[in-house]
Amino acid sequence: MTMVQIDHVSLRAGSTTLVSDVSLDVTGGSWCTIIGPNGAGKTTLVAAVAGLRTLYRGSVSIDGELLADLNERRRARLVAYVPQHPEIPAGMSVEEYVALGRVSFHGVLHAPSLRDREVVAGVLERLELTDFRRRDSASLSGGERQRMVLARALAQATKVVVLDEPTTGLDVRHQMDILELLKTEVAECGLTVIATLHDLTLAGLFTDRLVLLSRGAVVMDGPAYDVIRSTQLAESYGTTLRVVTVDGIDVVVPVRGDAHR
């Protein structure tokens, strides 16, 4: 069943086209990752899927509802967004920050309900943040902070989560932790994930489907194995890439221009 439908979407900034006539159907309970070189339009596209960009043409629907027809509160019930560089209010505890994900349910002027508190507690436990709930969010490490930001998104209890480079600034271990958490949510909770990732090896390892974007247009769309091993991948990035298999995992390696000498 299609959960996210992107129908002939184009986005512009002034007279510059950032995304051109992109159409994608994303199945519920799957993970779709947008890849491509810098300036390909990845961040712009996923922001539009989250309802945060005005479309020049086309439409985005989530679970059959057109985002353009929805108010902010209703949209927050359908899709959660994790930006590449989230803003975290000063002086806010981890629990308070995660609880912001429930505002669309109880409203700004009302206190959280028992159900809201239960959802927040459950998410904190699932992401192993319970012991940090009273901590000032500013005191967290990079990996802990990313888990907290993801926890807020999951507290929204949406069917779709959109993430823009969720592993930015993290070391290898914390990158794997965040992606494993997301993979578990997809497999066990039926979450639909749409993400962007720069690391092609990680994208191929965790993703059901890769969409290769270049200059705002879809170049290739298919299973991770096919896209990672395609000639279009290296052409889009403008460099030589080699795929080697290590313990059954495709590893994408850039090759220097003089490496053959």
User: Computed from CA positions of residues 240, 246, 251, 254, in that sequence, does the dihedral angle turn out positive or negative?
Assistant: negative
pLDDT tens-digit series, residues 181-215: 999 999 999 999 999 999 999 999 999 899 999 99
Three-class DSSP category at 117: helix
* Residue 198 resides in a domain: yes
Cβ 162 vs Cβ 196: under 8 Å = no
3-state secondary structure of 29: coil
243 lies in a domain?
A: yes
- Count structural domains, the chain: 1
* Rounded Cα gap, residues 29 and 160, in angstroms: 9
Print the domain residue range for 16.
2-87+157-255
SS3 149: helix
Is 19 a domain residue? yes
Instruction: Place 160 in a pLDDT band, splitting at 50, 70 and 90.
Output: very high
Q: Does any domain span residue 234?
A: yes
User: Does residue 134 belong to any structural domain of this protein?
Assistant: no
Confidence of residue 261 (pLDDT cuts 50, 70, 90): very low
Q: Looking up tokens 């590893």, which residue turns up?
A: 251
Banded pLDDT at 86 (limits 50, 70, 90): confident
101 located within any domain: no
Q: Is the pLDDT of residue 39 over 70?
A: yes
Residue 229 belongs to a domain: yes
- Whether 123 is in a domain gets the answer no
Q: What is the CATH number of the domain that holds 236?
A: 3.40.50.300
Chain centroid, CA 57 distance in Å: 23
Token couple for 239: 């460099």
pTM score: 0.92
Which of the four pLDDT bands, split at 50, 70 and 90, describes residue 258? Answer: low
